Copies of this chain bind each other. A is one copy, B any other.
Amino acid sequence: MALTNQKKPVIIGIVGDSGAGKTTFAAGLVHVLGPERTASICIDDYHRYSRADRAGMDITPHDPACNYVDILEQHVDLLRDGQPILKPVYNHHGGRLEPPEYVVPKDFIVLEGLLGYATPRLRDCFDVKFYMEPQEELRIRWKYQRDTGVGGYTAAEFAASLPLLNRDSALHIAPQRAYADMIVGFYPPDEAPEESGARLNVRHILRPTLPYLDLAPLLEVGADKGFDLELARDIDGRPVDALLISGTADGERSEEMEAYLWSLLPNGEARPEAIGQFIDAKGSTRHSHALALSQLVATHYLLNAALGENAV
Instruction: Kindly identify which residue among B74, B98, B99 contacts A83, using a CB–CB cutoff of 8 Å.
Output: B74
**Can you tell how many copies of this chain the complex includes?**
2
In the complex, A70 has a CB within 8 A of chain B:
yes
List residues of chain B with CB within 8 A of the CB of A97.
99
In the complex, A100 has a CB within 8 A of chain B:
yes
Residue of A85, A86, A100 with highest tally of chain B CB at under 10 A: A86
Could you say which interface size class chain A belongs to? 10 to 19
Who on chain B is nearest to A71 by CB? B86
Which A positions have Cβ atoms within 8 angstroms of B?
48, 50, 68, 70-71, 74, 78, 83-86, 88-89, 97-100, 102
How far does the alpha carbon of A100 sit from the alpha carbon of B46 in the complex, in Å? Answer: 11
List residues of chain B with CB within 8 A of the CB of A85.
71
10 interchain residue pairs of minimum CB distance: A97-B99, A71-B86, A100-B100, A88-B100, A86-B88, A68-B86, A98-B99, A70-B84, A74-B83, A68-B102
Instruction: Kindly identify which residue among B48, B88, B98, B102 contacts A71, using a CB–CB cutoff of 8 Å.
Output: B102
Residue of A71, A74, A100 with highest tally of chain B CB at under 10 A: A100
